[in-house]
Amino acid sequence: MGSYFHYTIINFFEKILTNCDKVTNYNVIEKNDFLVYSIERNHPYHSFNVYLTDSYLFTLSDYYNKPKHLKANDFIYLPAPQQNCSNEVYEQANFDSIYIGKANFLVKFLNSTLDEIN
Amino acid sequence: MFEKLFDYIFEKILDKFVGFLVASGVLILINSLWINITFFRILALSLFIILSISIFALYKLFKINKYLKQKIETAEVNSYQDLCIRINNLLYQNNKLFKKFSPYDENNRQNSLIEDITLWHATQEERMSPNNKKIKNFIENYMDLIPSSDKVLFEKMLDHIFAFEKHLQDRTIDYSKNQFPKDFVELIKTKCNDINILEQEKISKWIKINFKKKNIPVQNYFFFGSILENYYRFISDIDVLIKYNEEDKSDIRAISQKIKLLEKYFEKKFNKKLHISAFSQLENTEFKDFLKSMNTYKEII
């Protein structure tokens, strides 16, 4: 799958986390085959994992090969503006209660409880 | 400036200085074995010699690195096609940056990520401008290799680089009359058509054999990305696009796992990452859109 990200992308992502007052801590939990962050938030906001993908178009094949850390209520982040994912992925992710999106959705997700998002 | 000074110190002074240090260190050490031997003196002299050798090794390493960098970036341009391939690599990098960060890219226009123009300005100044300067150097240094019929377009590119640099120095300067020359890019691309032919054949053969072995029902294979744009030895990833004929999600899941395995086998064999963008039959519309959105791709037959 590859997980090469330019430093500006990582900086932008970490800036989003740092600027969010609901986030209390974050750590990289995987960085070899995939890049996965663990995000801790204040109560009543749930803690979750974020998977950063560099796929140009995130397909079902990418989705089924996602990191094992990713469970229900986690997030797949598409960091570059030109990235996208197929409709089938949206449906499958929705079925698995995994959220997927770009920066604007990530910011909304970070500032909301699961009830508010759903 | 710093690099020149560093080079001068190493080349003119340090070579002789290191020689002097080592020679005098050895002499004093030998001397100390005969007269008044103390443990600390020997230790100090040993450290002295180790330090001298380390400086010498660092110097050599610096020279080797500098030589390799020069070799990759400027040397070995010995034909017109070679020159076009070097320029193509830089144009490819700039195009990727434009797609990622420019608010003027079609995909980015509707995207809220590009609200902050400062990132785009920083990209222009810190990453695109150095590439432009390299292109300028290539063109000016190897003008003799360019056929007279193509020189007009190369000069157009030089005009664009000049105007773009002035615009970066003062954003109020309008360079609309010297915009990025798309016909120059087209010319360069046509001259690079047969890049990495042997490697492409080798890889496509491997891909076809191994996909067949794994019973993956592939309809189409395509190369895209850097293997079509840059010398094989300079690239770290091979991008391949495949469309496979499967609609059942449990089968798609099994195929995805096989693809991941093949990527790992490939890396072991070719020492480069294989990045497969795989589309199932369920994603046919996205596959067609993806193909349309790409600048360059090549079907593997």
CA distance A76 to B125: 31
Which residues of B are less than 8 Å from A8 in CB distance? 119, 122-123
Mean pLDDT computed over A60-77: 94
pLDDT band at B254 (very low <50, low <70, confident <90, very high): very high
Mean pLDDT computed over A89-105: 94
pLDDT of residue A60: 95
CA distance A39 to A51: 11
pLDDT tens readout for residues B121-158: 888 999 999 999 999 999 999 999 999 999 999 999 99
Chain-wide mean pLDDT for chain B? 82
B216 touches chain A (CB under 8 A): no
Tell the burial category of B227 from Cβ atoms under 10 Å away from its Cβ (0-12, 13-18, 19+): buried
| CA B118 to each of CA B103, B114, B125, B126: distance values in angstroms, whole numbers, following the listed order | 11, 9, 10, 12
Which range among A2-16, B85-99, B199-213 has the greatest average pLDDT? B199-213
Longest Cα pair distance anywhere in chain B, in angstroms?
88
Mean pLDDT computed over B34-60: 72
Q: Locate A118 and state its tokens.
A: 């759903």
Longest Cα pair distance anywhere in chain A, in angstroms?
35
pLDDT tens readout for residues B218-229: 999 999 988 887
Mean pLDDT computed over B191-197: 80
B263 with A1: CB under 8 angstroms?
A: yes
Q: Do A82 and B108 touch (CB under 8 A)?
A: yes
Q: Do A8 and B111 touch (CB under 8 A)?
A: no
pLDDT of residue B107: 61
pLDDT of residue A2: 42
pLDDT of residue B53: 81
- Report which of B197, B179, B217, B218 is spatially closest to residue B298, judged by C-alpha positions: B197
pLDDT band at B236 (very low <50, low <70, confident <90, very high): confident
Work out whether the CA dihedral A68, A73, A76, A77 comes out positive or negative: negative
Strand-strand pairing, A23-30 and A48-52: unpaired
Is the pLDDT at A1 greater than 50? The verdict is: no
pLDDT tens readout for residues A13-54: 999 999 999 999 999 998 888 899 999 998 888 999 999 998
Dihedrals phi, psi of A52, to nearest 5 degrees:
-95, 125
Q: Which residues of A touch B (CB under 8 A)?
A: 1-2, 4, 8, 12, 55-57, 59-65, 80-82, 86-88, 92, 102-104
